[in-house]
Amino acid sequence: MADDKVMLGHGSGGSMMKRIIDEVFFEAYGSDELLRGDDAAVLPALAPGERLAYSTDSFVVTPHFFPGGDIGRLAVCGTVNDVATSGARPLYLSCAFVLEEGFPMDDLRRICASMAEAAREANVRFVTGDTKVVNRGHGDGIYINTSGVGALAPGVNLGGAQIRPGDAVLVTGTLGDHGITIMSCREGLNFSADIESDAAPLNHLIADVLAAAPNTRCFRDPTRGGIASTLNELAAQSNTDITIDEEAVPVRDAVLGACEMLGYDVMQVANEGKMVCVVAADEAEAALAAMRQSPYGRDAALIGAVAAADPTRGPKVFLRTAFGSTRILDMLVGEQLPRIC
């Protein structure tokens, strides 16, 4: 395609739009459904009794490219992971771009190639899409929305409300990598060569854990707000107290150092390739072993436990510190680090 920058006409509904669709999007991740060119994708019936799992996310991260990934990889992994938390097998993705006039076409191609690669890894395909172009100065290069649909087998019922006292709390790997990577790119800081985003599709890992630990209660993606917000949501949904052990939480030294220097609480920093997982205590070891067999779960750890909430004060999350004291771990209030995903 001759055009080296996105122009308003690429969002027109006319022949310029057809060109960017054919030569950029279909080239990267065309599927039978996309190529068919109707207004809606028609997809096969699921197996009898299979329910639908459905989720959406928009991605507005800056910079668009960063160590370990880019906005396209995030847009695939984020939605795949959200669908997978239900226990479903993610199958189909939608993809909608809001492009800013002047965005480099080569960057768009690179992002689309990254989306295609992440989709292949997750074994999902793009079946429907949309492209809008906004005038220069009214966007920020590229925003991507994806939504995802998955098939959920009968009898699988995961969710925060399933958590009960006595359960074990696991995490699939080190915390804070994504948030600190974005922050250091944006501010031009260079803490360490080995800090990079953890963006990854976790659907295969989740399926393995469910097979190994059928009494898994829930998975939750600790993205914005970090594990602190996630655990507070889970405690509220299940009306329980959750206590985690600071020393058990896996954090890379370089990430911890960056957090200390910047005054961030790593428990509130975003992750894009990690899951918090709550399981029946007697299946914790089996779940951990399954996680550690995945390339994305090698640093998985048991980090805490669930107890009944004190009815006089409601559900709380506690952090037992390295010094043996215990403090309340609150949800993030406002914004620590905008636009990390």
- Comparing C-alpha atoms, which of 228, 208, 219 is closest to residue 277? 219
| Cα separation values, 197 from 64, 272, 303, Å | 12, 7, 22
Minimum distance, C-beta of residue 330 to a copy of itself, in the bound complex (Å):
8
Task: Between 8 and 113, name the residue whose CB sits nearer to a copy of itself.
Answer: 8
Rounded to the nearest whole angstrom, what is the least distance from the CB of residue 139 to a copy of itself in the complex?
7
In angstroms, what is the minimal distance from the CB of 309 to a copy of itself?
17
Residue in 43, 46, 276 with CA at minimum distance from that of residue 153: 46
Residue located via tokens 């399954």:
290
Of 232, 78, 255, the closest CA to residue 169 belongs to: 232
Q: Pick the closer one to a copy of itself by CB: 149 or 195.
A: 149
What span, in angstroms and rounded, lies between the C-alpha atoms of 293 and 8?
A: 47
* 73 versus 224: smaller Cβ distance to a copy of itself: 224
* Closer to a copy of itself by Cβ: residue 62 or 293: 62
17 vs 248, beta carbon nearer a copy of itself: 17
- Least separation, in Å, of the C-beta of 103 and a copy of itself? 13
Whole-Å CA distances, 129 to 119, 132, 148, 275: 14, 10, 12, 28
State the residue for tokens 């709380």. 316
